[in-house]
Structure 1
Amino acid sequence: MRKKVTVVGAGNVGANCALRLVEKELADVVLVDVIEGVPQGKGLDLYQSGPVQGYDCTITGSNDYEPTANSDLAILTAGFPRKPGMSRDDLLVANYEVVRTATTQIVKYSPNCILIVVTNPLDAMAQAAYWVSKFSKNRVIGMAGVLDSARFRTFIAAELKVSVENVVGVVMGGHGDTMVPLVRLSNVSGIPLAELMSQATIDAIVDRTRNGGAEIVKYLKTGSAYYAPSAAAVEMAESVLKDKKKVMPCAAYLEGEYGIKGLFVGVPCKLGARGIEQIYQVKLTAEEQAMLNKSAAAVQELVDVLNKKQ
């Protein structure tokens, strides 16, 4: 029996998630959006690509959640995009309502699913989905670290002119300006970055990684990134659906790990059929811990605002 995945939001991120899911033949997909006709039209278009691309998965579009019933996994991408000059924080209040409404419907029709949150500001929206769903903490996962690490790895590989497949890039913390690229743990086929490039070059790459999303927003002007975010979300979904047990950085609900309690923060996690099956506690230096604490504090500020809306 094939798996079933709900993708909430038929915009650029959601539509590309649906495309990647079926091209990998991971699941049948239900694409949901509030705009009449958009999920139906995009769903049908993607469905008709099957004979050409060679996938047998079905894609259906809907404006309500009834067709999503009994999904194994839901990817929540719906929300307002970031515009030039807009921080992820500015999105908070508007997207909270979107996430609250969507999560309520997901839970109603698929009470046993795993939930991957992509909507920004990521860490706070994962927190909102966790509150609303009342799911166990392992079943609500924020997509951030996989994307941030991909950007880090891309820039390292481009600088050194090596395959991205040989680059390990570790990024922790919140999804935003305070993210923590861990240079000490990043390498190329085991060779530390410090042996391959100057500190100034490393610092420039770290800075570009932190501002990776904003750089794309500046170019697009009327939207934000979607190819890499959808690829990251689907890599996480694949590890869950196939029970692959991949270890990747995800926004997870921490209860004392790294000295952080009651917050979604990006940390290395094992993803399998039960969602987050293990959180790995890496020994950090004092400087790294301080950066992670600063990042967690930035997330806490957003969560405090959401708390007042509860």
Structure 2
Amino acid sequence: MRWSDIHAADSSVFTRKKITVVGAGNVGATAAFLAATQELANIVLIDVVEGIPQGKALDMRGSSPILRFDSSVTGTNDYADTANSDLVIITAGIARKPGMSRDDLLAINAGIVADVTRNIVKHSPDCIILVVTNPLDAMVYTALRVSGFPKHRVIGMAGVLDSARMRSFIADELEVSINNVTAFVLGGHGDTMVPLPRYSTVAGIPVTELISEQRMKEICERTADGGAEVVRYLKTGSAFYAPAASVVQMAEAIIRDNKRVLPCCAYLEGEYGMNGYYLGVPCKLGAGGLEAIIELDLTEDEQSGLLRSMEAVADLVKVIDELGLY
């Protein structure tokens, strides 16, 4: 049998999944690279700037013999190349600068996300969308409204990142392996997020038994300020390694149908007594995207914190609705 015949036969029985990453900046390029190295799918990296996605994709592909991954990585400026993607990660948007809150990004990034979403829907009408662009809770709402997709196919990345930061701070505080630490952060992705020490553990032991109440309060405050702390150090940019790793963890759960329970930004329709807004809550992710929202038994203070977070999101959504993007 000739090589061409073997290749044709192989291609007919094996089709790798396809992930598109929109935005070839630090977050997008890092997410594309991590997804490729984990062989989650063939990767398409798209950006409006000519040459950037092509050059970064070529560089990633050059690392494949060393890191031993066979996923292809393609850079493009043309949405036609993203056609029939199984999953699309939206990172496009401007990054925060020192002194700028996530909310300052609202109008600019809403327009970007709306335009990106229209192109995604045109070329990949059956895909699942993961949104990373800030301010997250409002941007994933924008993607939902513009796309017309059901809520289980439009999900935001926030809680995985916030919880990871909290886990790292707890591990550093106790000088234990990060693998022993679990943590949950709910609510909006911003100053009103709701860290839950009561649901955070070290090797199954509640952190409330290992860390003083005052010190735990400080860790929770640092978690809420985690993104801004990075911005203050970088001065001309924002976090990208942790956000990229976080969205790839979500992508892996969906592509590999892992049924993982992760804190994600999901559209609530009565859960936690809230309706019509995206908020960070525990979610089960699998091949269907958002397959379930898990409701925790919250204390009065925790529920109040979640309500304050929702009210902050509602203010952003009101502005988004008035922009006339959909």
Shorter-chain TM-score bucket reads over 0.9
Q: 1:44 aligns with which of 43, 55, 58?
A: 58
How far off is 1:83 after superposition? 0.4
Q: Partner of 2:304 in structure 1?
A: 290
Confirm whether residue 275 of structure 1 aligns to residue 285 of structure 2: no
**Aligned-partner SS, 1:162:** coil
Q: Which residue pairs with 2:39 in the alignment?
A: 25
Looking at structure 2, the residues matched to 254 and 20 of structure 1 have their Cα atoms a distance apart, in angstroms, of 30
| Structure-1 residue corresponding to 2:180 | 166
Moved beyond 2 Å, runs of 4+: none
Residue 224 in structure 1 maps to residue 210 in structure 2: no
- 1:99 maps onto 2:107 in alignment: no
Partner of 1:202: 216
Q: Which residue of 1 aligns with 2:254?
A: 240
Q: CA deviation at 1:89?
A: 0.3
Whether 1:63 and 2:77 are equivalent positions in the alignment is: yes
AA partner of residue 193 (structure 2): M
**Residue identity matched to 2:89:** I
How far, CA to CA, are the matches of 2:102 and 2:216 in structure 1?
Answer: 25
Query: Which residue pairs with 1:180 in the alignment?
Result: 194
1:229-287, CA deviations, whole angstroms, 9 ceiling, x for partnerless residues?
00000000000000000000000000010011000000000000010000001111111
Greater Rg, structure 1 or structure 2?
Answer: 2
Distance between the aligned counterparts of 2:191 and 2:254, measured in 1? 28
Partner SS state of residue 2, structure 1: coil
**The residue matched to 2:292 in structure 1 has which SS?**
strand
- What SS class does the counterpart of residue 104 from structure 2 fall into? helix
The one-letter code of the counterpart of 1:5 is I
Q: What residue identity is the alignment partner of 1:286?
A: E
Q: String of CA shifts for 1:43-77, please: whole Å, max 9, x gaps.
A: 11111111111111111111120000000000000
Distance across 2 between alignment mates of 1:202 and 1:133: 40
Shift of 1:129: 0.2
1:29 aligned counterpart, secondary structure: strand
Aligned-partner SS, 1:249: strand
SS in structure 1 of the partner of residue 290 of structure 2:
strand
Residue aligning to 2:25: 11
Q: Residue 218 of structure 1: CA displacement?
A: 0.2
TM-score by length of 1: 0.99
Q: Deviations over 1:86-115 (max 9, x none)?
A: 000000000001100100001110000000
- Give me the whole-angstrom Cα distance separating, in 1, the residues matched to 2:206 and 2:73: 44
What's 1:108 paired with?
122
Matched to 1:271, the amino acid is L
Q: Distance in 2 between matches of 1:137 and 1:32?
A: 24
After superposition, give the CA deviation of every residue in 1:165-218 in whole Å (9 maximum; x if it has no partner). 111101000000000001111111121112101111101100000000000000
Residue correspondences, number: 310
Q: CA deviation at 1:148?
A: 0.2
1:1-38 C-alpha deviation (Å, 9 max, x unpaired): 10100000000000000100010011100100001110
5 Å-filtered alignment, 1:125-136, equals: 125-136=139-150
Distance across 1 between alignment mates of 2:103 and 2:22: 21
- For residue 89 of structure 2, the aligned residue among 51, 75, 89 is 75
1:117 to 127, 131, 140: 131
Pick from 222, 226, 229: which aligns with 1:212?
Answer: 226
Q: Calculate percent identity across the aligned residue pairs.
A: 59
From 169, 183, 190, the equivalent of 2:204 is: 190
Report the equivalent of 1:154. Answer: 168
Amino acid at match of 2:246: A
- Structure 1 distance, partners of 2:258, 2:208, is 32
TM (norm. structure 2) is 0.94
Gaps of 5+ in 2: 1-14
Query: Which stretch of structure 1 is more off in the superposition, 190-199 or 228-237?
Result: 190-199
Match of 2:267 in 1: 253
CA RMSD of aligned residues (A): 0.5
In the aligned structure 2, how far is the partner of 1:192 from the partner of 1:240?
Answer: 29
Q: Distance in 2 between matches of 1:26 and 1:242?
A: 8
| 2-structure distance, mates of 1:295, 1:269 | 18
Structure 1, unmatched stretches of 5+, are none
